[in-house]
DNA sequence: GTCTATAATCCGATAGAC
DNA sequence: GTCTATCGGATTATAGAC
């Protein structure tokens, strides 16, 4: 499943073959069908696992970080980790491109994933309005939408040039609005 | 070629088949090979055509609009036109996802396309520093990188929810920094 | 320049031995 | 639970008639 997840993030749904995944793992592709009934199901399972990991991260961050600036900074760093060496992107982006090849169930999960991220970011910017840890906040919902677009697009830019530093550069202006706490 | 271009923007390189393109056009798929030697060549040609159109737009805009704010606004609107009804995206994004399935030549063209856009945006923000038509500019190169990431990501967000209005919302904060001229 | 027909390959999926 | 073998379908590409 780890191998399949990485393959999807690097080559998209239509770009991966079960044969290639099986070869990377060191088994025969027919063995995959003992664990998953179809390619669709395999992708559905790994996306739900990925989605659950991110939701867990969001809950954990909201529970542990009391300041909006710290929450947002953790989000930007976490999302940047998907870029790796500029060869990969977040799975939801990769699957969204190949959306028309996916079954309706996974497409619904993709929408839910996006909406959950947007709602979390909106809450974060609303908190930022109160605690002042993020500068120049306009409408929280608009900020959340722009922030999600920025971190997604920053992954694309970094991948386009195979350089993870471009993710950091593209998000620099957003990060400069954050006054992080210094817990000692 | 128009049909092929739209198909790539909606389904990605690996998601389109020559048979489907031929059926949409109303010919047989074998007829495609009279005009193009391979699927790779077809995609290379339509991307170069797309790339030339955008480069022409950049030149035209820089020549006709003297204010940085007007140039940037035109760029944001032009890029937003790729979203259509939330079903499509810019061809460079779609091809960049399926990069590992493409021949090296097209990948080079993709990098050139991205760099040209970045350079144009950097020039625009440098002009904006001088003429004051864009507010709160930090480093022009960082602004360009963040701007490109934002408009690319805004297309993804709009497509994720099949709603072109989300592109407008995600770019609203950037557009609010622009003081457009009112030519009368 | 487009057609029919078909070759060659790849892929998802199944059957059955071990 | 993994293997070998294979089916059936889709896809890229070619050959040759018109």
What is the tens place of the pLDDT at every residue in A142-174? 999 999 999 999 999 999 999 999 999 999 999
Residue B12 is nearest to which of A98, A171, A176, comparing CB atoms? A98
CA distance B40 to A172: 37
pLDDT at residue B180, rounded to an integer: 81
Q: DSSP assignment, residue B102? A: S
CA pair distance A48, A54, nearest whole angstrom: 10
Band of residue B140 on the pLDDT scale cut at 50, 70, 90: very high
Quick one: pLDDT at residue B183? 63
**For the segment B5-21, what is each residue's pLDDT rounded down to a tens digit?**
999 999 999 999 999 99
Summary mean pLDDT of chain B: 96
- The per-residue pLDDT for range B30-43, each reduced to its tens digit, is 999 999 999 999 99
A173–B contact, CB cutoff 8 A:
yes
Tell me chain B's radius of gyration from C-alpha atoms. 18
Q: How confident is the model at residue A115 (pLDDT cuts 50, 70, 90)?
A: very high
Q: What's the half-sphere exposure (Cβ side, CA atoms, 13 Å) at A172? A: 15
**Tell me: the pLDDT tens digits for B51-105?**
999 999 999 999 999 999 999 999 999 999 999 999 999 999 999 999 999 999 9
pTM: 0.96
Distance between CA atoms of residues B55 and B49, nearest Å: 10
> Where residue A128 falls among pLDDT bands split at 50, 70, 90?
very high
Instruction: Enumerate residues 6+ apart whose C-beta is below 8 A from B108.
Output: none
Residues A79/A155, Cβ–Cβ less than 8 Å = yes
Distance separating alpha carbons of residues B124 and B144, to the nearest angstrom: 8
Contacts with B53 (C-beta within 8 Å, 6 or more apart), sequence order? none
CA A183 from centre of chain = 27
Find where tokens 């940037």 sit: B72
Q: Which residues of A touch B94 (CB under 8 A)?
A: 97
Residue carrying the six token digits 């790994």: A46
Q: What is the pLDDT of residues A13-51, one digit of tens each?
A: 999 999 999 999 999 999 999 999 999 999 999 999 999
3-class secondary-structure state, position A178:
strand
Contact B152 A148 (CB under 8 A): no
Distance CA A163, CA A166 (A): 6
Nearest-Cα residue of chain A relative to residue B138: A173
Closest chain B C-alpha to A23 CA, distance in angstroms: 17
**Separation between the CA of A31 and the C1’ of D3 (whole angstroms):** 8
| pLDDT number for residue B184 | 55
A8's tokens: 């999807």
Distance from CA of residue A20 to its chain's centroid? 24
Q: Determine the pLDDT at residue A184.
A: 53
Cα–Cα dist A95/A92, whole Å: 5
Q: For residues B157 and A156, is the Cβ–Cβ distance under 8 A?
A: no
Interface of A with B in 102-161 (CB under 8 A): 110-111, 114-115, 138, 141-143, 145-146, 148-154, 156-157, 159-161
Distance in angstroms: CA B105, C1' C13 = 35
Contact by Cβ (8 Å): B167, B155? yes
**Measured distance CA(B36)–CA(A181) in Å, rounded:** 59
């Amino acid at each position: 499943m780890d191998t399949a997840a990485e393959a999807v993030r690097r080559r998209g749904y239509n770009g991966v073959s079960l044969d290639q995944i099986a070869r990377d793992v060191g088994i025969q592709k027919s063995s995959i069908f003992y664990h998953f009934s179809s390619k669709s199901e395999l992708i559905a399972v790994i996306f739900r696992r990925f989605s659950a990991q991110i939701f867990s991260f969001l809950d954990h961050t909201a529970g542990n970080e009391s300041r909006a600036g710290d929450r947002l900074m953790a989000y930007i760093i976490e999302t940047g980790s998907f870029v790796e060496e500029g060869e990969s992107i977040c799975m939801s982006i990769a699957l969204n491109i190949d959306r028309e090849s996916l079954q309706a169930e996974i497409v619904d999960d993709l929408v839910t994933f996006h909406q959950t991220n947007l709602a979390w970011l909106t809450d974060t910017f609303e908190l930022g309005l109160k605690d002042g840890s993020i500068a120049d906040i306009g409408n929280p919902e608009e900020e959340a939408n722009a922030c999600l677009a920025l971190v997604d697009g920053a992954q694309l830019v970094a991948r386009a040039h195979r350089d993870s530093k471009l993710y950091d550069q593209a998000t620099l202006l957003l990060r400069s609005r954050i006054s992080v706490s210094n817990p000692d």
